[in-house]
Structures are given as structure tokens and as C-alpha cells.
Amino acid sequence: MKAILKGGFILALLVLDLNRSMQAQTMDEMWDSRSSGKEHPNIGWFKDAKFGLFIHWGLYSKLAGEWKDKNYYGSGEWIMNQAKIPVKEYREVAATFNPVAFNAEDWAQLAKDAGIRYMVVTAKHHEGFSMFDSKVTDFDIVDATPYKKDPMKALAAASRKKGIQFGFYYSQFQDWNEPNGGKNSWDFDEKKKNYQLYYDQKAIPQLKELMTNYGPLGIIWFDTPGGMTRQQTEEFVNGLRRLQPNCLFSSRVGQGLGDYRDFGDSELPTTPIMGPWESIYTHNDSWGYIKHDMNFKSPLEIIRLLANVASKGGNLMLNVGPDGNGRIPEYSEKYLKETGKWLARNGESIYGTTYGLIPQQPWGVSTSKPGKQYLHVFNRPHNGKLIIPGFEAAVRSAYTLQGRKVVPVKKKGNQLILDLPAFDQTAANTVFVIEYTGKIAPYDLTTPVPVSNQFAMNSVDAVYGKVQGSAEIKPLTYSHYYGDWKHATCVTGMKDPTDAASFTINIQDPGDYHIILEYACPQESAKQEGVLLVNDTRFLFRTLRSSEFDKSAPLMFIKHTIATSSFAKAGTYTLECRPLNKGKELFKLKTIVLEPVNAN
């Protein structure tokens, strides 16, 4: 479990010189600025690609989340560890692994249809089984299974043929089938392990095989590093680089090295991030196949997630878990194809873009190309008037991405108002383009967040807060199922009336609004009083218990309506939240929601 956590935080990067962005980007471990300072000469394709396919496939896929009549939930590829399956018994699974339904052409075609630009597949996961023909061990798909073929050869060739960059996932430290590999403490004595021997005898020779026998690779995706110092990791990286200088290494090679940054599993940064990076999500709750895991993200969720990641400047690598027969789950296939249809029409607003210059708005997010902003509209304002705050550049034109129909634009102060045409409001993401000259304005989280009665809800996220005293804006990590990580950025540390968080909003439509605080609050923090100031008007509230904060359990957020407030005039207002008295941390505040109170 600890190992999953660690892998989730082998991170780093340069953060944009944004107002207060560092508040939101307090990461456990930073990617080394020495490596991020000079980019890999072949990083260009990666930065432009935006959409990758991750594939977790191994013996665990055959077990499908079940061992000895017991069902396991969460990371299916961890079943050997979760059920503490002895090496001897786990090895026997190989004799039953015969993925005759695997078809490399079909997988590559699916990736192509989905608009995928790169693919990373598990060559060896923590279980220690090699999904390729390895001379280093007999515990591999050719020697130990009735299948007897190397699926990676075919997959590498089929992907390349379709113009998809091909790469391998390789668990370089954890290997639960080897006495000297990391993290199997149920069969092997941790104290007796010699990790260097493991690297020398298995990991390095296998990586050499992968980098020699499968043509030019786009990526080696390392994971959960351990057992090596910074210097040893440098030597390891440099040694492998000689084999394929063009191949990129993920930051989870460890010790701050690697060619691009990987965020934690299922983690999406809240503000733009400079340099090449990737968000990693799985399509359902597990990475490896589990037959009872049916929680698949819909095409709408995938399309919005992809736009959201691109709006912060990164790539989305979405995982699918094929089963033990070699079939990609039906829903993954279906929903990936739907995503591909959207990308076929709207790809210009995703591929080759950089982070959006307009911070996240109630209507959606933005991405950029030189002189262009792509507006990804998830929620159409009821009156069709889309507001962009803080837009100082001169507009040349505005139009729909599909059909290139002109959209009327007006300037009001430094706000831009687009008069959107009618469109299907259930659509995942309708894209508009603004062409402009000059500078928009610095990406600025202090620009007041527009609040109107054009949306059912107006959300002001913690990241827009300005904190005082001991209050901090922090990313929090917790999990649902085993290894099913979730992240939320919250204002934390408010224990005293001097610890406060304030937010500026711009009321577009005067009227009454419900003010809702969305927070997590453990038992010890419950029943404490807090105050929310709207300019000078005080609203008192008492905290409600939601859940304790424990990394291996869900963090439950409650939506607590604390007030009805009349905003008599349009314009800027400040919302300030603080404890009324000194005490325990008031709560972990995720969002302030303003819900228009409609007369009808």
C-alpha cells in the first residue's frame, strides 16, 4: 500500500509563474528542476500528443479480482499482494493464462479510432510476470503459459503501423516473485534482500531486452521506484539511454529524474503546469481487469477530463484493463470509440495545444494555440451569454469550431461576452474559438470569479482562495477502493479566527443566492462555529460532521447550505471564511457554491 502511495507522488515540475499558484502545488516530492530545465530533444511529440492509452495486462487479468472464492476490489493488479498469494501458487496461474482472443491489430485500431497518440502497456508489473519473451526468466508468457507467443512483438508493430507511439510500463523495483525484488514480505525476508542484485540480474537485463527487441520505443514508463540512490538511478538511466537515446523515461524512474512529470494516479492539477507532464486515470476503478468492476467513465466524462487536463497543459493517459483472454472490456471499447468521434471533429482544440490562458469558468475550460483560445463549453449559460473575465487582448474573430459559424462578441470593461448560438445542452463539450492579437492578461486566480443566475450552480474552488494566518491551500489524497486514489484541493489549517480564506466574486446578475460550503469535517471538528463574511455581512454557521481524513478511506464532503444572501447590485464582492473561536481545524473547505434562488 505504501508503495502505491509513493508511486503516486514521484513528482515534480516547474509551475507557471502564476499568482498564488504555488499554494495549490505543494507536492510531496518535486521533479528535479535540473532535469526539467533542459528538455529531452524528442519531447515534442509527447507534448503535442495529449491523449495516451495505458494498458495493464498480466496474470492478474486472469484472476480478474477473485482468489479462492473471495472477491477483491480496487487495484486488481495488486491481488497477489492483497491476498498474500505465495509465489509458488501464483506461478501456477501462468499455466492457465491463454489469451487467445488477443488481437494486436484490433487493439491498435481501437486506439486509432479513439484518437490515441501513444500507448503504454505493462511489460512487467509488480507481480513479476513478463508479458514478453524474456531470456532472463522462465516466468514469462512464452515459457510459462500455453499461449507461448510474445504479444508485445505484434502490439509494438501494429501500433507503429497506425502511427501510434509505443511504450512499455516496467516495474523496476517491485517484483513480488523474486527474493531480491521489492515489496514481497510474505514470502521473502525484507532484511535479506539485495536490491542491487535484483537490478543487475533481472530489471536491467530485461529493460535491455525491451529496448533492443521491440523497435524504437516512445516511452519506458517506470513505476514505484526504490532501492537506488540518486547516483545509482542516474547510472541506471544513463546506461539505458545509450540503447535508445530517443526514448522518453517517465518521472517515476525516481530520484527526481525522468523526461516528463507524472502526477499521482487519478490526479489532475488545479492550475496550469509548465513543462511536459501527464495525468493518469483508469477507465473504471482498477488498473488491471476485475470482472466485477463495472464503474466505467462515460464518454462525456472522458471528453471533459481530456479537455480539463489539456487546459492545464498536460496529457491524459487513460488506462484500460484487458481480461485474461485478451479482450478489452466492452464498455472501454465503446466509450473510447465515442471519445474518438468527438476528437475527430474537435481534435484541433486538443492536440498540439498548450494550457488555456483563461482560468476555469462556470461554463468550462480553455486551451491555447498561438493567437487562439479554444473555449470548451461544458455548461451553456441559460441566456447564451458566455462571459470571459480579464480578457484584455483585441478580438479578431470568434466562431464555432465545428462549421466555423461567426459568434458575436462584445467587450464590457475587461470582460468579453460571447453571444452563443443554440446548441445541444447535453453535449459533452461544445468548442468555440477566439482569435485575438496582443496579450489576454496574465493567468490570474485573483480575477474575481463570475457568478450569475445563468448556471444552476456557481462553484468557487479552494484554489481561488487567498489565505491568512495558518490557513493553507493543499492537495489532499485519499482512496476509495484499494489503490483507487482520489484527490481534492482544499483550504486547510483554519483553527483560529486569524486563519481565514477569502474569495472574490463578480456578481453578474443581482438577486438572492444560497451560499453552500462544501467541506470535509471529522468528528473532532464538528459542532464548531464559523463565520462567512459577504463584504460586511456576517453569516454564522456550525460545522457538521462528514468523515475523518484517512488516506485509505473515502473523504466525504458535505454540501452545507449556510445562508441565503441578497446581492443587490452587480459587481465585486468578497467572501471570507474563518473560525469564530480558537479550536480544532474548522474543516477542509473544497468549494463555495453560490446557487441562484429563482423566483419561478
Q: Which residue is nearest to ligand FHN (CB)?
A: 7
Minimum Å distance from CB 8 to ligand FHN?
Answer: 5
Restricting to residues 156-195, which ones interact with ligand FHN according to CB under 6 A?
none
Binding residues among 483-542 for ligand FHN as defined by CB under 6 A: 483
In terms of phi and psi (left: phi > 0; alpha: psi -120 to 50; beta: otherwise), the region of 330 is alpha
Looking at the Cβ atoms of 102 and 263, the one nearer to ligand FHN is 263
Q: Count each helix (H run) and each strand (E run) in the chain, helices first.
A: 15, 30
Cell of 350: 486538443
CB 10 to ligand FHN: min, Å: 8
* Choice between 167 and 359, CB closer to ligand FHN: 167
Binding mask 447-486 for ligand FHN (x = CB under 6 A): ------------------------------------x---
Nearest distance, CB of residue 265 and ligand FHN, angstroms: 5
Q: Segment near ligand FHN (CB under 6 A), from 2-10, 137-145, 383-391, 419-427?
A: 2-10
Binding mask 220-249 for ligand FHN (x = CB under 6 A): ---xx-------------------------
Beta-bridge mates of residue 182: 174
CB 171 within 8 A of CB 125: yes
Figure out which of the listed residues 127, 209, 259, 265 binds ligand FHN, where binding follows CB under 6 A: 265
Position 8 contacts ligand FHN (CB under 6 A): yes
The piece of 3-11, 448-456, 466-474, 537-545 that touches ligand FHN (CB under 6 A) is 3-11
User: Which stretch in 19-27, 71-79, 112-120, 297-305 sits in contact with ligand FHN by CB under 6 A?
Assistant: 71-79
Q: Are 138 and 94 in contact (CB under 8 A)?
A: no
Segment lying near ligand FHN (by CB under 6 A), choices 70-78, 90-98, 146-154, 234-242: 70-78
Distance CA 26, CA 260 (A): 18
Q: Does 74 bind ligand FHN (CB under 6 A)?
A: no
- Sort 57 into a burial class: Cβ within 10 Å, 0-12 / 13-18 / 19+: buried
Residues in the chain: 600
> Residue with C-alpha cell 462525456?
300
The one segment of 1-9, 60-68, 148-156, 208-216 that binds ligand FHN by CB under 6 A: 1-9
Nearest partner of 130 among 195, 181, 64, judged by Cα: 181
What single letter denotes the amino acid at residue 469?
G
Q: What residues pair up with 467 in beta bridges, in sequence order? A: 501
Which SS3 state, helix, strand or coil, does residue 49 take?
helix
How far, in Å, CA of 197 to CA of 430, rounded? 54
Build a one-symbol-per-residue string for 271-300: x at contacts with ligand FHN by CB under 6 A, - elsewhere: ---------x------x-------------
Which among 288, 297, 295, 311 has a CA at the least distance from the CA of 61?
288
Q: Nearer Cβ to ligand FHN, position 273 or 280? A: 280
Q: Rounded to the nearest whole angstrom, what is the least distance from the CB of residue 266 to ligand FHN in the complex?
A: 9
Chosen residue from 25, 35, 36, 75 binding ligand FHN by CB under 6 A: 75
- Which of these, 316, 286, 288, lies nearest to 302 by C-alpha position? 316
Q: Is 1 exposed, middle or buried (0-12, 13-18, 19+ CB in 10 A)?
A: middle
- Supply angle C-alpha 13, 309, 476, rounded to 5: 65
In this complex, which beta carbon is closest to ligand FHN, that of residue 107 or of residue 221? Answer: 221
φ, ψ at 409 (rounded to 5°): -130, 140
Judged by CB, which is closer to ligand FHN: 267, or 499?
Answer: 267
Nearer to ligand FHN, 75 or 525 (CB): 75
Shortest gap between Cβ of 402 and ligand FHN (angstroms)?
Answer: 34
Q: Does 77 bind ligand FHN (CB under 6 A)?
A: yes
Q: Which of 2, 551, 12 has the alpha carbon at shortest distance from 254? A: 12
- Of 173 and 436, which has the nearer Cβ to ligand FHN? 173
By beta-carbon proximity to ligand FHN, the closer residue of 287 and 378 is: 287
CA distances (Å), origin 449, targets 118, 203, 212, 505, 572 = 36, 50, 53, 5, 9
DSSP string, 56-87: --SHHHHHTTEETTEE--S-GGGHHHHTT--H
Residues that bind ligand FHN (CB under 6 A): 4, 7-8, 75, 77-78, 223-224, 265, 280, 287, 483
